[in-house]
Amino acid sequence: MRGSAAKRPTLSGVSAAPLLAHPTIGADLERVELVLRDSVRTADAFLTDVASHLIVAGGKRVRPLFSIATSAVATPALAPADLDVIRGGVSVELVHLGSLYHDDVMDEATTRRGAESVNHRWGNLTAILAGDFLLAKASEIAASLGTEVAGLLAATIGRLCEGQVLELQTMFDPARTEDRYLASIGGKTASLFATACRIGGIVGGLERDGIDAVTSFGDHYGMAFQIVDDVLDIVATDEQLGKPAGNDLVEGVYTLPVLRTLGGPAGGELADLLGHPLEPAARDRARELVRANGAVAEALAMARAYVDRAAAALEPFGPTEAAVALVESATGLLADVELIATAR
């Protein structure tokens, strides 16, 4: 889905360093890679090649990492995850990857993660079918983990689509409301983080209130992540992003800092620029207006509020290794973007 994953190989709002620093998590991540590659291996060499294209290209695997960590959040120390926990995280990652295949078709993208995008290399029809195949493999794995996990993953795929449709309905619309923006990112981004955490809790055997707590963590993390990602598009450079800055403005996706600017003193001038695809000069002026009117600080304040809620959700577990690493991952979301925004 558009924006459902970081498209920025150089700088991204996702922070997984506290989890990756733990040796047990590092070993589990290697297991995730093996299960991921095995899950898309078929008798058809071409389909295997296409379906594994983005897996081979790499990725932070934050969603499987969250599944692994939340499965152990109630125990004092992290230990190697059960295979079913690994497989649960892989099912979520496959949904994420399938959504990227479809997203690149919608965006007419030519690259993804530093490699040629599937749609550009093999065409839109192949990319769509391969994306569908990844969603099917995710569902197959989820079904093997029980009816609750299967139903949860199916509902999450629906929420991803709903969030994307909400965004499509307001493209190039300066009257987009903040509520519709939040509803969209809740579906297209936060829902998958929440599901990754919930699957970890379910498969890891947490009590029901613990499962709800880690789900809340993932949901709030996802909201903060997307807001930070949207702010980076306004304040970072092309080099920092690894793609043209201001691309959301060009594509008509008006995000939180833009909406806050539209509601302020510079809203009239900004509204006159928006409503259609932007040429570079208009894009740059729009970014200047958003950066100069306090909207970035307001957006980051909302992201911080979501981070605080994410951290609060894990308080009942105490200072277990997994809980501490997850909270540090949430607080780390804001580090790079605040430095960049302050320097502008």
| pLDDT single digits (tens) 16-73 | 777 877 888 888 999 999 999 999 999 999 999 999 988 888 888 999 999 999 999 9
Residue 216 located in a structural domain? yes
How many C-beta atoms surround the C-beta of residue 275 within 10 A? 13
Query: Is residue 3 assigned to a domain?
Result: no
- Which tens digits make up the pLDDT trace of 176-195? 999 999 999 999 999 999 99
Average pLDDT, stretch 124-146?
95
> Residue 263 is encoded by which pair of tokens?
């509601």
Decide if pLDDT at 327 tops 80: yes
Closest CA to 192 of 163, 232, 235, 230: 163
CATH code, domain with 38: 1.10.600.10
Task: Specify the amino acid at residue 236.
Answer: A
Query: Is 57 inside any structural domain?
Result: yes
Binned at pLDDT 50, 70 and 90, residue 115 comes out as confident
- Full domain range(s) for residue 331: 17-343
Asked if residue 1 is part of any domain, the answer here is no
Q: Each residue of 217-276: pLDDT tens digit?
A: 999 999 999 999 999 999 988 777 766 789 899 999 999 999 999 999 999 999 999 999
The answer to whether position 310 is within a domain reads yes
Q: pTM for this structure? A: 0.92
The residues, ordered by sequence, that sit 6+ positions from 89 with a Cβ below 8 Å of its Cβ are 32, 61, 63, 64, 65, 66, 67, 68, 196, 199, 200
133: left (phi over 0), alpha (psi -120 to 50) or beta: alpha
pLDDT at 14: 59
> What is the torsion angle, in degrees rounded to the nearest 10, for the CA atoms of residue 154, residue 157, residue 161 and residue 164?
150
Residue 10 included in any domain: no
| pLDDT above 60 for 8 | no
* pLDDT, mean of residues 213-218: 98
For residues 132 and 135, what is the distance between their CA atoms, to the nearest angstrom?
Answer: 5
Residue 39 lies in a domain: yes
Quote the CA–CA distance of 243 and 237 in Å, as a whole number: 9
Residue 164 lies in a domain: yes
Domain count, the chain: 1
pLDDT beyond 60 at 6: no
Residues pairing with 116 in the sheet: 111
The overall average pLDDT reported for the chain is 91
> Contacts by 260-263 with C-beta closer than 8 Å and gap 24+?
260/178, 260/294, 260/295, 260/298, 260/299, 261/289, 261/290, 261/293, 261/295, 262/174
